Amino acid sequence: MGWESFYNITFLQEYLLIAVGGYVGCLFADSLAMLASAKTKSAVIAVLVPCAVIFIPPLLNITPMVPAVEKLIGILPHQLVQIYSVINGLYIYQAAGRYTGAVEILLVLYPVLCIALLPATYMIFRRGEEKSFASPR
């Protein structure tokens, strides 16, 4: 079942990676939705952002493309919600002479991005709130 995996992990570890990957993926999509909602003040755009983040990249992966773009698509946030295929696939990246798998990149990059989006979302929301209280009704 997972014999061709790059990772030497147990079924429990695989289950935990799948659960954490799905959680982080949903958390990142929700963080982007909050940012879009605060910026645009539109519920429609806030609903479309997570859908676009999760559903559009797999559609781009259907067509044959340049290997560099294919590598980039391998670390987009939609991979977090389908991390089972990342665990069992051969997604290997090289940076500064060091090889790493996509799971490590995904599980480090997107929690950091979620944390980085929080202050930005708060500041945008706060600025919009101050403007609405400052203007006469």
Q: Whole-angstrom Cα distance, residue 52 to residue 95?
A: 28
| pTM, entire model | 0.83
Please compute the mean of the pLDDT values over residues 17-24 and round it to a whole number: 94
Region 7-18: mean pLDDT is 89
Give pLDDT, residue 137.
Answer: 55
> Looking at residue 95, what DSSP letter applies?
E
> Tens digit of pLDDT for each residue in 112-134?
999 999 999 999 988 877 777 66
pLDDT given at position 3: 65
Residue 136 tokens read as 């006469």
pLDDT tens column, 42-77 = 889 999 998 888 888 888 767 667 777 778 888 889
pLDDT of residue 122: 93
Give the domain ranges of the chain.
11-125
The per-residue pLDDT of the chain, averaged, comes to 86
Range with lowest mean pLDDT among 33-37, 91-95, 100-104: 91-95
Residue 99 DSSP one-character state: E
Four-residue CA torsion sign, 55, 58, 60, 62: negative
> CA of 124: how far to CAs of 33, 54, 72, 117, in Å?
13, 24, 29, 11
The pLDDT assigned to 1 comes to 57
